[in-house]
Amino acid sequence: MKTNIIYTIALLHILLFTYAAVSKILDFENFQVQLGQSPVLSIFAGPLAIVVPATELILCLLLMIPKYRIIALHFSCFLMFIFTLYIILILNFTSFIPCSCGGVLEKLSWTEHLIFNLVFVAIGLVAIVLHSGTKQTLITIAVGGSVGTALIIVLFLLSESVMHKENPFIRRFTPGSAARTAKTDLRSATLYIAGATLNSIYLTDRKAPLQVYEYDVNLQNRKHHVIKLEREDFPFKALQMKVVYPHFYLYDSTVPIIYKGLVSDWKANIVTARQYNFSDIIFVNDHKAIFRGQIPSTRVNTLATISNQDTTTVKTNNALLQKQIDGVFDTDGTMQYSYELNKLVYTYYYRNQFIITDENLNIENRGNTIDTNTIAKIKVTTIKKSGDTKMATPPLMVNNLTTITDNLLMVNSLLRGKFEKKEVWQHATVIDVYNITNQSYLLSFYVYDENGFRMKNGYATSEALYLIAGHYLSKYSFGQTIKTAIKKQ
């Protein structure tokens, strides 16, 4: 009788492990992706994708052999106990719950999985009791339970630490972090977002830079404004606008004029007739700006502040941007300013690094994006006739567009990470979110193409990310995970 019960229990484990292992092998890529999205096992996804089904198949073979059946049942119980602890940790101690496993078991909820696993642990213990007695079973439970619990806790703590601080290019797509909640057709592909508040989004046209379109946060109502310049007799080539509520600024890097006005009346007055050149600029407050320019003697990029409070004062910090190849292309990147924290964040285009400074360009930290490109993969050449430096080959773009809200830096990366499906990247791009207060990676979410158009411009507030793809303006509202991360600053 005992032998038959033990044999039946072993057979049930054989069926379970055979089915589970074969399902994982047949859908190996999906299984690996699911492990990569696990908040406990992310960094171990590669080896575990092989080890887990291999272990299940080995246990099946051992359970078939009478000589090794009891020892195999001990390990079967231990394995199911590990799976059970994993589910308990997922349900109670992680920031999100990932997708379930594949096959028929995918139809079960995580709670149903927990009950299912507990049943197999229980019947496995019944077999061990029948063979070895209660005392030996209690010893097995004590030892196996202690080792299993310690193992799961260590895996969880190690995975969380590596994911946030030393990420091996594994993205974490937390469910519900951001979702598109509104979209409107701009009927023009030359508009870009100049700024936003919690109530309005301001767009202007590259071809008609004095035309401003103000949308409400639901993208349903639109107002049209026309900027009136104090003077218009300047040879502008590419006039640009930025809104730093309640002000707006107009500038052109080829003309030594900067305008400033209020969004309440859209009248722009000249606030500075500068004698410096810049390729990008951030307006910190009424009297200060931060700009990227070039050192005249070497032409390499540098960052500087300009203050107009009493007299015009320009202060450069040539040590911030670190040269790797030419000092021009290899230090190129995006500038964003957190008005809530008074921090500048400079993100390199071609390497996995961003720089954090205060409003006076005093460096505070250097952080890394989660890809592995520490050195810019670019090749430059100098044209002998003109002396101009140009790209000799197409560069590997790492960090494309950026935007910031409070303590969260959002980076549009162009590189596919580990365990990410090629099919998704054919019609979507990704936003990686970093916490600049501790230079850690938080999570990622996909931004899907709009009618074949890829994201080309974005602006974040504490409530949502607004972006333009082609001639469409979309709103991606933030979920609780991102909102909570902002509140924890």
For residue 292, pLDDT beyond 50: yes
> What three-state secondary structure class fits 455?
strand
Are 229 and 350 part of one and the same domain?
Answer: yes
Cβ-contact 478, 464 below 8 angstroms: yes
Assess whether 148 and 185 both reside in one domain: no
Q: Domain for residue 173, yes or no?
A: no
The answer to whether residue 356 scores a pLDDT higher than 60 is yes
User: Does 171 fall in a domain?
Assistant: no
Of 165, 189, 223, the position where a domain reaches its end is 165
Examine residue 26 and state whether it is found in any structural domain, yes or no: yes
> Do 250 and 110 share a structural domain?
no
- The pTM score is 0.78
Task: Tell me: do 402 and 446 sit in the same domain.
Answer: yes
Using pLDDT thresholds of 50, 70 and 90, give the confidence band for residue 273: low
Query: Which three-class secondary structure state does DSSP give residue 276?
Result: coil
> Residue 42: pLDDT above 80?
no
Task: Report how far residue 107's alpha carbon sits from residue 89's, in angstroms, rounded to the nearest whole number.
Answer: 20
Please report whether residue 104 resides in a domain: yes
Check whether residue 83 and residue 182 sit in a common domain: no
Domain boundary residue, one of 144, 165, 186: 165
Using the predicted structure, report yes or no on whether residue 127 has a pLDDT greater than 80.
yes
| Least reliable range by pLDDT among 113-127, 430-444, 467-481 | 113-127
pLDDT attached to residue 102: 46
454 CB-side CA count, 13 A: 13
Assess whether 296 and 435 both reside in one domain. yes
Please provide the average confidence, as pLDDT, over all residues in the chain.
86
Return the pLDDT at 387.
Answer: 62
Say how many C-beta atoms besides its own lie within 10 A of residue 487's C-beta: 11
Which has the closest alpha carbon to 368: 451, 438, 270?
438
| 381 against 208, higher pLDDT | 208
**Is residue 170 situated within a structural domain?**
no
pLDDT tens, residue by residue, 61-115: 999 998 889 898 888 888 888 888 888 877 776 655 555 454 445 667 777 888 8
Question: Are 191 and 159 part of one and the same domain?
Answer: no
Give the rounded percent of residues in the chain with a pLDDT score beyond 90.
46
Shared domain for 145 and 197, answered yes or no, is no
The pLDDT-based confidence of 338 (bands split at 50, 70, 90) is very high
pLDDT at residue 30 is higher than 80 = no
Please tell me whether residues 156 and 271 are part of one structural domain.
Answer: no
| Residue 129, in any domain of the structure | yes
Per-residue burial over 151-178, b if 16 or more Cβ lie within 10 Å, else e, is ebeebbeebbeebbeebebbbbbbeebb
The answer to whether 432 and 441 are in contact (CB under 8 A) is yes
Among 119, 141, 165, the domain boundary falls at: 165
Q: What is the CATH number of the domain that holds 209?
A: 2.120.10.30
Question: What range does the domain containing 277 cover?
Answer: 178-487
What pLDDT sits at residue 100? 47
Strands 267-272 and 228-229: parallel
Q: Per-residue pLDDT averaged across 328-346, rounded?
A: 95
Predicted pLDDT of residue 83: 87
pLDDT at 59: 92
Q: Which residues are CB-contacts of 77 (< 8 A; sequence separation ≥ 6)? A: 121, 124, 125, 128, 140, 144
Taking 80 as the threshold, does the pLDDT of residue 222 lie above it? yes
Instruction: Report whether pLDDT(160) > 90.
Output: no
More confident of the two residues 161 and 374: 374
Distance, in Å, from the CA atom of 247 to the CA atom of 264, rounded to the nearest integer, reads: 9
Kindly write down the DSSP assignment for every residue of 6-67, as one continuous string.
Answer: HHHHHHHHHHHHHHHHHHHHHTHHHHHHHHHT-TTTGGGHHHHHHHHHHHHHHHHHHHHSGG
Question: What CA–CA distance (Å, rounded) separates 282 from 280?
Answer: 7
CB–CB of 358/305 below 8 Å?
Answer: no
Does 247 share its domain with 334? yes
Question: What is the chain's length?
Answer: 489
- pLDDT of amino acid 2: 81
Tens-digit pLDDT profile for residues 192-202: 999 999 999 99
DSSP reduced 3-state for 151: helix
Count of structural domains, the chain: 2
The C-alpha atoms of residue 433 and residue 417 are separated, in whole angstroms, by: 14
Residue with the larger pLDDT of the pair 296 and 336: 336
Summarize pLDDT for 376-408 with one digit per residue, the tens.
888 877 766 666 667 666 788 899 999 999 999
In a domain, 208, yes or no: yes
Looking at the fold, whether 420 and 468 belong to one and the same domain comes out as yes
**Helix, strand, coil proportions of the chain in percent (round to 5)?**
30, 35, 35
Residue 172 lies inside a defined structural domain of this protein: no
Q: E-strand spans in 308-372?
A: 313-317, 333-338, 343-348, 354-358, 363-367
pLDDT of residue 114: 83
First to last CA, the chain: 64
Residues 185 and 152 in one domain: no
